[in-house]
Amino acid sequence: LPVVAIIGRPNVGKSAIVNRLAKVQEAIVYDQPGVTRDRTYKPAFWSDRDFMIVDTGGLVFDDETEFLPLIREQAMMALSEACAAIFVVDGQEGLTEADRVLSDWLHRQHVPVVLAVNKCESLTQGYSQVSEFYELGWDTHAVSGIHGNGLAEALDDVLSHFPEKDEEVEEEEIRVAIIGRPNVGKSSLLNAIAGENRSIVSPISGTTRDAIDLKVERNGIKYRLVDTAGIRKKKYVQYGPEFFGINRAFKAIDRADVVLLVIDAVEGVTDQDQKLAGRILEEGRACIVVMNKWDAIEEKDTYTMLEHMKQVKARLHFTEWADVVFTSAVSGQRVEKIFDMIAPAAEQHRRRVSTSVINEILEDAVSWHTPPTMKGGKQGRIYYGTQVSSRPPSIALFVNSPDRFGDTYRRYIERKIRESLGFQGTPIRIFWRGKK
Ligand code: GDP
């Protein structure tokens, strides 16, 4: 959903405005304990659009309270995910120096801003109160959070900055890339998926030249198989097996939400397969490992799949979160099962987790295993963490010394987060941030 940030000094009446827009009075996401003024999300709607309001708490730049840097950090994060901001000022108090400072800061944030001059209860009074704020250089509206005057116009203005609704609908389709070395069975797999007398398949041209995408549907979910032309083209034949259009594969990974990494089960995981998996991880795409040609493995018993699974997990340990499926593109065995894995992986890939949940996990993680000691014997400290983006889920951890936390502790935190939250099928990103 689109996010709208509410920004303003304390006591300008932000909460009165928020409460008018919100569907429910309780915030659905709380920030961590310890920070008194929180960033809270509330679902809201206006005309035909649903969105989230994020309230950043009172912003001031000219006092030296202990929490100030954190609040500013919170506001920055709120703005980074917002498609528009409502900047609230107090029309009865008039333009203050603190408003000017805040306004200058907002002008540097690259987010469309609508200025709401609050506490303008009467229209005539409103006009005289509003004019002095024009110098701040925003689209300006006289509003009353208490009575609701002027909010409609202000919101129409805010909505004009939302992404087109169609784009959101388009987002619902899951983009899938089929990737792998030559002859692992990509074309065969594609044919098995898109073959005749299957459900809806329609070719559409992709964004890159001569990339043909295929749309397929399973259980009411729409999938777009990207760059299927690249799969069918047997370009590498004339260059020998070393050349397999790796750039093309990389481009397809780039366009996908979920990548099917197809591997020849008879040959097992090769160096090149590892390289492709590495790229998928780097690009932060969800992934499913498809061990194809399973039918060609002879004399299977009950342990065969387990043995192969072990080898895959060992050779692809850096993408151990990826599901593995053993298929036969020629017989169709388990090909449809791939779709049962794609949809949840895509869901995990775009998942958002509340700050309170993340901080509960962090608290637990830290109590089992304290952060490394910093230079000079100072104890490493995690203040709090918050998810800053999705696709893939990315979590910033605010710490006292970001350079010194290192990879071992990062892996530990990732493990703890996965133990609680799963994130099966998708990479997650965790990075250290300074408190500033
Ligand atoms: P691509 O280069 O990855 O697109 O691979 P192809 O789909 O062209 O397949 C390469 C060869 O492997 C062909 O001879 C296929 O018939 C064969 N092949 C593909 N999938 C399977 C499978 O699941 N089992 C077996 N036994 N052979 C397969």
CATH 3.30.300.20 residue ranges of the chain are 355-434
The CATH superfamily holding the domain 355-434 is: K homology (KH) domain (3.30.300.20)
pLDDT of residue 47: 72
Is the pLDDT assigned to residue 53 strictly greater than 70?
Answer: yes
CB atoms within 10 A of CB 234: 10
What pLDDT score was predicted for residue 270?
95
Q: What's residue 58's pLDDT?
A: 59
Please choose from 330, 331, 333 the residue to mutate so as to test ligand 1's pocket, defined by most ligand atoms within 8 A of CB. Answer: 330
> Which residue is closest in CA terms to ligand 1's atom 24?
293
Integer angstrom CA distances of residue 173 from 42, 248, 322, 391: 26, 22, 20, 14
Model pLDDT, residue 67: 47
Residues 6+ apart with CB under 8 A from 252: 177, 178, 179, 211, 226, 227, 230, 259
Tell me what the mean pLDDT of segment 60-85 comes to.
Answer: 68
Residue 363 has pLDDT above 50, yes or no: yes
- Residue 198's pLDDT is 44
Query: What are φ and ψ of residue 247, in 5° steps?
Result: -65, -40
Question: Does 295 show up as a binding residue in the annotation?
Answer: yes
226 or 416, which is more confident: 416
pTM over 0.80: no
- pLDDT, mean of residues 85-107: 89
Assess whether pLDDT exceeds 80 at residue 3. yes
Q: Which residues contact 24 (CB under 8 A, 6 or more apart)?
A: 42, 43
pLDDT average, residue stretch 400-420: 91
Q: Give the model's confidence band at 210: pLDDT under 50 very low, under 70 low, under 90 confident, else very high.
A: low
| List of residues 6+ apart from 14 with CB closer than 8 A | 6, 8, 55, 58, 88, 145
Residue 230, pLDDT above cutoff 60: yes
Give yes or no for residue 29 having a pLDDT over 60.
no
In the reported structure, the alpha carbon of residue 12 is separated from the centroid of ligand 1 by a whole-number distance in angstroms of 67
Q: If pLDDT is split at 50, 70 and 90, which confidence band does 63 have?
A: low
Q: Mean pLDDT, to the nearest integer, of 148-165?
A: 85
322 vs 229: which has the higher pLDDT: 322
Residue 185 labelled as part of a binding site: yes
Looking at domain 172-349, its CATH class is alpha beta
Give yes or no for residue 25 having a pLDDT over 80: no
**Max avg pLDDT among 194-208, 330-344, 384-398:** 330-344
Ligand 1 atom nearest to CA at 234 = 2
∠ CA(410), CA(412), CA(415), 5° rounding?
Answer: 110
Q: What is the pLDDT of residue 300?
A: 86
Residues of the chain with CATH 3.40.50.300: 3-166, 172-349
CA–centroid distance, 295 to ligand 1, in Å, is: 11
Please tell me the predicted confidence (pLDDT) of residue 314: 96
Q: How far apart are CA 66 and CA 336, in angstroms?
A: 56
Rounded to whole angstroms, the Cα distance separating 375 from 289 reads: 42
**Amino acid 259: pLDDT:** 98
Q: Is the pLDDT of residue 116 over 90?
A: yes
The torsion angle over the Cα atoms of residues 233, 248, 252 and 292, rounded to 10 degrees, is: 60
Query: Which residue's CA is the closest to the ligand 1 atom numbered 15?
Result: 185
The CATH number of 3-166 is which of 3.40.228.10, 2.30.30.100, 3.30.60.50, 3.40.50.300?
3.40.50.300
Question: So what's the pLDDT on residue 71?
Answer: 61
Distance spanning both ends of the chain, measured CA to CA: 30
